[in-house]
Structure 1
Amino acid sequence: MRLERGVVTYDALLVLSFGGPEGDADVMPFLENVTRGRGIPRERLLEVAEHYHHFGGVSPINGQVRALIDALERELRAHGITLPVYWGNRNWHPMLEDTVRRMKDDGVRRALALVTSAFGSYSGCRQYREDIERARASVGEGAPEIEKLRLYFDHPGFADAQIARVRDALGTIDGERARLLFTAHSIPMSMARTSPYEAQLRAMCELVARGVAHDTWELCWQSRSGPPQVPWLEPDVLDVLARLASEDRAQPVVVIPIGFTSDHMEVVWDLDHEAKARAGELGLRLVRAGTVGTHPAFVAAMRELVQEKLAAAPKRALTTLGNDHDPCAASCCPAPQRPSR
């Protein structure tokens, strides 16, 4: 079924994600895809590979994307939207190029793309647009046009889902005394300076903290990579935990991975494994809030993004920080400059 907005017709929805390995044999090829052209030493890849092997080589992200697609299909049908939903990844199967080729073979002419990244940056927004165009060029004549949906970091449904996850975490401890520690994937300063990433994150941290009636919170960073001489956003979550322990070891900490929509390996390793172990060494009580995942408010928000395009439904946003990304300007979030050798 094709649904129209004026003269524009959409006949499919593409869910576009990062991808992850699903077995030990997938791990190194996956990591090589992720880091291609970045000059990452093989020793570092082997170190990161051990994180995946700790879980049988399986990243949780693909399973969670499948769950999101299932929930989204049901949500769309419940609101009379019968678009077929396709799935493609940047770094592992199903690869985006293969999915775009299948869409062409199925007769899809124009599709919407929902990216599982909420905030604006090169790697979280513009690079996905480049991925789409590269896949379309590879498929060639007849490849469907694909329009990326807007950033949704400030959609009320995203905020409501994150607030609910934090409330659940606070309910397991002395919530009134807990400190809120928001985390997001660190990025190079060269990327941060040319994107709204940090500003958008800070705005949403404040809204979520207010939603759970906490006046004080901190934003820190996790999962940095790359050469140590290249500056990235700081402070790191492990360093902040050490400082909090020195201030008041008896005060519990709720870590909130607001920069992630689902439990990537960076969440389950860097937070559930490393940060939890570090907190134990420091004598800190640490609880990790869940990612939005398939929370009904988040799934409904994703359906609303589709409806904005299909039926000129009103755009709901809690800030004005995403206005320049609907649609994205050609110059938005440029790729960071690689250090010269």
Structure 2
Amino acid sequence: MPDAHQPADPVGSAAPYDALLLLSFGGPEAPEDVVPFLENVTRGRGIPKERLVEVGRHYFLFGGVSPINAQNRELLAALRKDFAEHGLDLPLYWGNRNWAPYLVDTLRELAADGHRRIAVLATSAYAGYSGCRQYRENLADALATLAAEGGPELRVDKLRHFYNHPGFVEPMIEATLAALDRLPAEVRDGAELVFTTHSIPTAMASTSGAPDDPARGTPGGAYVAQHLEVAGLVAAAVARATGAVDRRWQLVYQSRSGSPQIPWLEPDVCDHLETLHAGGAPAAVLVPIGFVSDHMEVKYDLDTEAVAKAAELGLPLARAATVGADPRFAAAVRELVLERAAAERGAPVRRRALGALGPSHDLCAAACCPNPRAPRPAAAQS
């Protein structure tokens, strides 16, 4: 495995935090939920209901149920188990941006239970508007709603980006090796690694993230740079483990949903599979490094569309599992809570991270990952 900047786990108390909130995207859990859920996701964009019904066909193929809520329940169970085994007495709550349990309702519950200082884990590992700032805008909106209702003042602190934490990267390395093992032996050594993440508009990618030192320059480019860092870490570890030091890999994109007139990050995963086949690649392994769990965009865009494309091409294909509720990821979350708590107390902090980019910042700069439509208040920023 790659070496971490800091090999030792941070230890200590979770104080000043008195609860942890798992903040996720949400998803429908019955066919009748699909269109209302998509209306929540696209609110304010003027998308007609007929178009939402068409988009919802992905969900209807799976009975109208997104896997994401069940996967969040599994992650909560893994976190509770890990916390209990390590003596961390920190209540866990769960709220979503776009479906029940809604974030504002969960914050009301936290307030009613007497919690006032809350650490927040968003189920998105990377910098970017949709993966970071939009969650912080939702937190600011929910806090404003509670304040307007006369509720108590809550403070929420979003934990740092965890894309290069060993507890996130190492399970992906293991999952990639397992996927390689599922390929026929005769094509395994030449199989190319295809790292996938959600495509976003190139303009949004160019304004993602912020430099550690504002004097170094304009924020931007973190979304792609962070994914390339993780892809390189996984590819290097897989090469060492298999002895295929010249194994080729590529970062590609999936799940594009915007106007064709707006440039988005490319290449698309299915287009890339065609390129691999045309170039004589004997096989491929899809590695969804951009996703924490096997939710709908993994199940449909990879396990349905990409698998169908590979079958059409006659290209042997395997897909690596996402991190999900892996115990190493649960341990990483505990570590992130404890390191942030130590920093808030002014205690020495040890932050583990793999690769050259190092551990991410605790507070986002006001200028990073701007809202592409209009400025809005966001929680947890400097």
Above 0.5 in TM-score? Answer: yes
Q: Tell me how many residue pairs correspond in the alignment.
A: 333
Q: Is the counterpart of residue 238 in structure 1 residue 274 in structure 2? A: no
- CA positional deviation for 1:38: 2.3
In the other structure, the counterpart of 1:206 is 232
Alignment partner, residue 176 of structure 1: 189
Residues 1:134 and 1:330: Cα distance change in structure 2 (over 3 Å):
same
**Offset of residue 322 of structure 1:** 6.2
Q: How many angstroms apart in 2 are the aligned matches of 1:39 and 1:217?
A: 39
Of 216-225 and 34-43, deviating more is 34-43
Deviates more, 1:313-322 or 1:225-234: 313-322
Once the two structures are superposed, the pairs formed by residues 155-194 of structure 1 within 5 Å of their partners are: 155-173=165-183, 174=185, 175-194=188-207
Whole-angstrom distance in 2 between the partners of 1:67 and 1:144: 27
Aligned to 1:318: 354
Q: Is this contact kept in 1: 2:340–2:362, CA < 8 A?
A: no
Higher relative contact order (CA 8 A, sep 6+): 2
Structure 1 stretch 328-337 or stretch 48-57: which is displaced more?
A: 328-337
One of 69, 73, 96 as aligned partner of 2:76: 69
Per-residue CA deviations over 1:55-81 (Å, capped at 9, x if unaligned) read 111100100000001001110111111
How far has the Cα of 1:321 moved from its partner? 3.6
CA distance in 2, matches of 1:337, 1:11: 35
- C-alpha contact 1:188 1:233 (8 A) present in aligned 2: yes
Q: Report if aligned partners of 1:161, 1:296 keep a CA contact under 8 Å in 2.
A: no
The answer to whether 1:285 aligns with 2:312 is: no
Counterpart residue type for residue 230 of structure 2 = M
Aligned to 2:332: 301
Residue type of the alignment partner of 1:16? L
TM-score, with normalisation over the residues of structure 2?
Answer: 0.84
Q: Secondary structure at the match of 2:33?
A: helix
Letter in 1 for 2:237: G
Q: For 1:9, what is the secondary structure of its paired residue?
A: coil
Letter in 2 for 1:109: R
Q: Which runs of 5+ in 2 are unaligned?
A: 1-11, 209-221, 240-244, 375-382
The one-letter amino acid paired with 2:154 is P
**Displacement after TM superposition at 1:146 (Å):** 0.8
User: Gaps spanning 5+ residues in structure 1: where?
Assistant: none
Task: Select 2:285's aligned residue among 249, 254, 272.
Answer: 254
Alignment RMSD, CA only?
1.6
Q: Which amino acid aligns with 1:291?
A: T
Q: Distance in 1 between matches of 2:49 and 2:288?
A: 28
C-alpha displacement at 1:320, in angstroms? 5.5
Shift of 1:318: 1.6
Determine if contact 2:227/2:290 at 8 Å carries over to the other structure.
yes
Contact 2:286–2:318 (8 Å) recurs in 1? yes
SS in 1 for 2:156: strand
Runs of 4+ in 1 over 6 A off after TM superposition: none
Residue 309 of structure 1, CA deviation: 2.3
**1:257 Cα offset (Å):** 0.7
Residue 202 of structure 1 and its aligned partner are, at CA, apart by 0.5
User: In structure 2, how many angstroms separate the alpha carbons of the residues matched to 1:66 and 1:207?
Assistant: 29
